[in-house]
Amino acid sequence: MRSSFLTAALALLGCSKAAPLEKRAALTQVTNFGSNPTNTLMYIYVPTKLAANPPIIVAIHYCQGTAQAYYQGSPYAQLADQYGFIVIYPQSPYSGTCWDVSSKASLTHNGGGDSNSIANMVTYALSKHNGDTAKVFVTGSSSGAMMTNVMAATYPELFAAATAYSGVPAGCFVSSSGQVDAWNSTCASGKVNATPQYWTNVVKNMYQGYTGSRPRFQVYHGSIDTTLYPPNYNESVKEWTGVFGYNYLAPQTRKANFPHSGYTTDIWGVTTANPLGTVQGIYALNVGHTVPING
């Protein structure tokens, strides 16, 4: 009696005793994604129920992080199960596992740095899974947020939008001696203060001659961040409002206590066709270096 009830229930759920539940998709390493100048590791999460032309999110870990840690510590894989998109989790090849956001190679389109390796992962996944080239996104936390800024600057043609949690502007963590994967304490401590025009030139020089579209950009930063100090918030906002030609001192919309109590969201570039705007700055009062991911 009980067993036949169970059989009926399983049948209703589309299961049978003979065929066990299909194993849920898992984080998987991809080793042959194409040219990989810095030996960056590629991990991918492809949900069981994949959309026909799946969007792709590149989710980039923090220093001392791994693909596995960011996979477990961020909401993207669960959301991928729900919506059918793909997540790429790149993993830094360096000891300390911060990203190279300091060398000329990584700060240049097709320059042979980490950014180049990550761009090749995107191209591979788009082709392998028939991905939607108009819906490729990049995000990351801390060092991964720095890399998000760098990806948006060096590969603007690949991404529709970018979200950086507690990073620094692209080109802020440079190494004057050209060192790969260098720490830049001037930038980290918030002592770099430049004009929007300066940052705009920094971004444009990373991919000279490029005139196509650029990803919408969202900057999150906490007001009591003592790893990458809060002035990096304004510098990042100056960078992306500058690139799009908005006045960073005059956001079009300001929302208090949004998306959470104590957060302030400033938005530039709102139009009827683009109600969420083109640049968003989200400043989190009394939040430290770890701004919770708003999946």
**Residue 286 touching ligand NAG (CB under 6 A):** no
* DSSP label of 285: T
CB of 228 to ligand NAG, least distance (A): 12
How far apart, in Å, are the Cα atoms of 262 and each of 51, 61, 150, 222? 36, 26, 28, 10
CB of 224 to ligand NAG, least distance (A): 11
| Bond preceding residue 259 cis, omega within 30 of 0 | yes
**Residue 234 touching ligand NAG (CB under 6 A):** yes
- Per-residue x/- track, 237-276, ligand NAG (CB under 6 A): ------------x---------------------------
**Residue 175 touching ligand NAG (CB under 6 A):** yes
Among residues 138, 289, 283, which one has the least CA distance to residue 216?
A: 138
Which single residue is written with the structure tokens 């004057």?
A: 176
**Residue 174 touching ligand NAG (CB under 6 A):** yes
Determine the 3-state secondary structure of 234 from DSSP.
Answer: helix
Contact 215, 161 (CB under 8 A): yes
**Residue 187 touching ligand NAG (CB under 6 A):** yes
Contact 122, 136 (CB under 8 A): yes
Closest to ligand NAG by CB, 59 or 172: 172
Which residue from 37, 84, 111, 231 is in contact with ligand NAG, where contact means CB under 6 A?
231
Please tell me which residue in 102, 103, 142, 143 is annotated as part of the active site.
142
Strand pairing of 41-45 and 279-284? unpaired
Contact window for ligand NAG (CB under 6 A) among 8-16, 72-80, 229-237, 270-278: 229-237
Instruction: Identify whether 142 is a catalytic site residue.
Output: yes
Which single residue is written with the structure tokens 């083109």?
A: 278
Task: Kindly list the residues in this chain that would bind ligand NAG in the complex (CB under 6 A).
Answer: 172, 174-176, 184, 186-187, 192, 230-231, 233-234, 249
Residues with catalytic function:
142
